[in-house]
Structure 1
Amino acid sequence: MKTELISTVFLSEKRKNTLIMLLNGPATIDEIKQSINGTTSAIMAQVKILLEQGLIEQEDDEYRLTYIGQIVLKKIKPLIETLNVVEGNKEFWDSRDLAAVPENLLDRIGDLGEVIIHEPDLNHLFEPPKELLTSLKQTKNVCTFYSYFCPTCPNNYSELAKKEVNYNLILTKPVYERLRDEYTEQYNAILESQNSHLYICDENIITPGAISVTDNLLLLSFFNKKGFFDHKKVISFEESAREWGREFFMHYKEFSEEVQ
């Protein structure tokens, strides 16, 4: 039975997606069909298997998870979400050094959901992705962490400060010192803002490349396993990813001191 249940869930994308959909509540065949893009006959064939395995049940025209189905899916869903994130960009994740991510967040990496891997061309290596710049123009809240220096970022920092966006910025000590010493105008704008808070991270802890969380976007960058920053970034627009990113940011805030 163990093998049968595992096969039932994982050996068919239609069965897997049907079960995940039913976690949100009962649905008719037409609603399932609309959600997972299959023909009625193809979906009915998979529904029959799910019924036979006792994972779903039918009541009138609707299908719902059984108690066993709920138990199984609540345990399996995080695994499915993790596999979706990792397998979709396996080469990228294989090359990343994820030592900076706390274990509890690694366990929930599936929360990143559907991600975009941003890899700029040679003409845009040192520019933030357009998605981030667009989001920064609209957002009212930003949490940002940087352990490398981005030449265009000081102007972005100061613009957020001048607009009195609710802005929390954590920098490693070398990045902070360069901002302070070479970008005095932008640095002062941050310190003079009522809603901006600047922190210096403890230099003795392992850090990622960058974390940026806005009202609608999460951006992450990690060093590769050789310790180099290769400009590749992860972007997600999902709410669960932003919550994951905020927790990641708060982890580093605990190891940081605010600049007064």
Structure 2
Amino acid sequence: MPGEFNIRSDYLDIYSKTKDQMKYIVSSSVRSQILVCLSQGPKTMTELRSETGQTSSALSHNLSNLEKKKITTKNGERYFLTSLGEIITVNLLENIKTTTAISKFKKLWSNHDLSSIPPHLLKRIGNLHNSTLIESESRELFKIYNTYEKILNESKYIKGISPIFRCNYIDIYQKVIEKGTKVELILTQDIANHTLESVSNTEMEFLKNSISQDMIKIWVIPEIKVAFTVTDKYLSLGLFLEDGTYDNSKDLISDDYDAVNWGNQLFEYHKNQAIPFTL
């Protein structure tokens, strides 16, 4: 891509100039622990010692150095983050979350297609750190299905993207709509066509009525390589393998606020590129 080499060169140049400052924080577990603790509010030495498990000597030495660099300060018996310290610590916490999400769910990221997750959300992949990876062998795929059904039944609204077809999902969505749950779906054109060909006359009538009553809204998109559902409480995320097949054996589930917010943003990103579906 034009300009890509220059952008990378700029980052390499920036790194060479700032690497010592970056290493100063992350190379010391004591300093990192101090900043994480102080991100929760001012702490006394006793509180820092209790929360980090470090000795007073180790804490005092590092706090003195942090104060010299204007990252922390002291008022009475309590230690605080400075404004500079707040900036550094916020980014440190993001880095911790990102590293956690990468290492914790390595099975999901490895050999899977991430092309449908835009760069600005890949950058915030740490929002998924407090999630659970559900894994099933081929003979027990019902585990993922049962978890998914439970998520839908407990939701006040549902937003989903599906480039795969499962006939039993038609029944699930009909049941939740009948309970008053509003549904928004983004389907690939192939899946939209397949769905219409598979529904009965009764189901088609229900679909038309649900659309007219704004209980379900559907968009179509040419192609997408991620399948997920986000509700008011949960995120369920599935990915395609690099060979183009959908991985039925793994599903990332989370009820964490940051993960749900991440999922909502991913849905809105693709909805902005989709076309409203009409019967």
TM exceeding 0.5: yes
- Separation in 2, partners of 1:223, 1:63: 48
- Partner AA of 2:98 in structure 1: T
Aligned residue in 1 for 2:216: 197
Offset from partner CA, 1:179-223 (integer Å, 9 cap, x none): 2222234454343233422324221x4x13311111211111111
- Partner AA of 2:104 in structure 1: G
| Superposed CA RMSD | 2.8
Please show how residues 233-252 of structure 1 align to structure 2 within 5 Å.
233-252=251-270
- Which 5+ residue runs of structure 2 have no aligned equivalent? 1-16
Please show how residues 140-151 of structure 1 align to structure 2 within 5 Å.
140-151=156-167
- Separation in 2, partners of 1:126, 1:58: 56
Offset from partner CA, 1:227-246 (integer Å, 9 cap, x none): 12121122222111111111
Structure with bigger gyration radius: 2
Aligned residue in 2 for 1:45: 58
What is the percent sequence identity of the aligned residues?
Answer: 23
Give 1:177 deviation, angstroms.
Answer: 2.1
SS in 1 for 2:241: coil
- Partner AA of 2:232 in structure 1: D
Structure 2 length as normaliser, TM-score?
0.78
Count residues with an aligned counterpart: 255
Is 1:181 the counterpart of 2:197? The answer is yes
For the 8 Å contact 1:140–1:166, the answer to whether it is kept is yes
For the 8 Å contact 2:238–2:247, the answer to whether it is kept is no
Cα distance change, pair 18–224 in 1 and its aligned pair in 2 (3 A): farther
Which residue of the other structure, out of 159, 169, 176, is the alignment partner of 1:153?
169
Structure 1 length as normaliser, TM-score?
0.83
For the 8 Å contact 1:8–1:50, the answer to whether it is kept is no
Cα distance change, pair 113–21 in 1 and its aligned pair in 2 (3 A): farther
- Which 5+ residue runs of structure 1 have no aligned equivalent? none
For the 8 Å contact 2:97–2:129, the answer to whether it is kept is yes
- Separation in 1, partners of 2:208, 2:25: 54
SS in 1 for 2:158: strand
Q: Which moved more, 1:116-125 or 1:93-102?
A: 116-125
Please show how residues 13-24 of structure 1 align to structure 2 within 5 Å.
13=29, 15-24=31-40
Q: Which moved more, 1:134-143 or 1:42-51?
A: 42-51
